[in-house]
Amino acid sequence: MALSTSSAITLNINGEKHTLPVDHRTTLLDALREHLDLTGTKKGCDHGQCGACTVLLDGRRAVACLQLAVAAEGRVITTIEGVAEGERLHPVQQAFLDLDGYQCGYCTPGQICSAIAVIEEHAAGWPSAVTADVRPEAGVPPLTADEIRERMSGNLCRCGAYVSIVQAIARAAEAEATPSPPAPRRESDLDDAAGTDDAEITV
C-alpha cells in the first residue's frame, strides 16, 4: 500500500490559523507565498544562505526555505506581515524607515524579522562569536556595532545597506530598552480615582 505524500495541515501564522493541503516536501516558504499569498517573506537563494526568507518560529528566527511546512504545524509563526501592532509599526520597522536601512527592499523583511530576534536574544544575555566575556556573571554584553554585525551575519544585503541596518538595529534596541512614558492622565481619570464622579451609580 503506497503511503500518502500529502497532508492537510494547520499553521498558526500571525495569530491566525490556516488549514491547507500540502505536499510533504513543501517548504514553509512556498506554503506562505504560493498557498497563503503571504508574499512579504522573500525567496532569495532558496538554500538557506541569504536570510531573505527569515521568519520567527516560536520567537526564534528560522530560514523558511529550509523548514518543511509540515514540521511547522503546532508552532507559532510570525512573518513580516505580523510584526506590527495594527497601524503601529514595530520599533525595528520604524528604525529601518527612519534611518534608510534598505535600498531595493527585497531583503528587508528577512532583515527585520532577524533583527527582532537579535534584540531579544541579546536582551536575554545570549553571547555571540565576538562577545568578549561569555561568563553568565558578566551579564548582558553591550550591543556594539560589532555585536550587531556578527549576530546579523546570516542576512545578506546585496545593495550594501549594512551601515544603516546596523544603526537601525541599535536604535530599535535602545527604544525597546527605554520604558515608555506613562500616558497623560485625563481629568475624568483623576475624578474616578478620587471617587468624586457625580454620575449616579446603580447596583
**What are the pLDDT digits (tens) for 15-51?**
999 999 999 999 999 999 999 999 999 999 999 999 9
Q: How far apart are CA 176 and CA 92, in angstroms?
A: 9
Output the pLDDT for position 108. Answer: 98
* Homologous superfamily of the 1-82 domain (CATH): Beta-grasp domain (3.10.20.30)
Q: Where exactly are the structural domains of the chain? A: 1-82, 84-178
CB-count exposure of residue 101 (10 Å: 0-12, 13-18, 19+): buried
In contact, 32 and 41? CB cutoff 8 Å:
yes
Cα–Cα separations (whole angstroms), residue 130 to 71, 163, 171: 32, 18, 20
Q: Strands of 76-78's sheet, edge to edge? A: 16-23, 6-13, 76-78, 54-57, 60-63
Q: What is the mean pLDDT of residues 130-142?
A: 91
Instruction: Tell the CATH topology of 84-178.
Output: DNA polymerase; domain 1 (1.10.150)
What values do phi and psi take at 134, rounded to 5? -95, 5
Output the pLDDT for position 184. Answer: 56
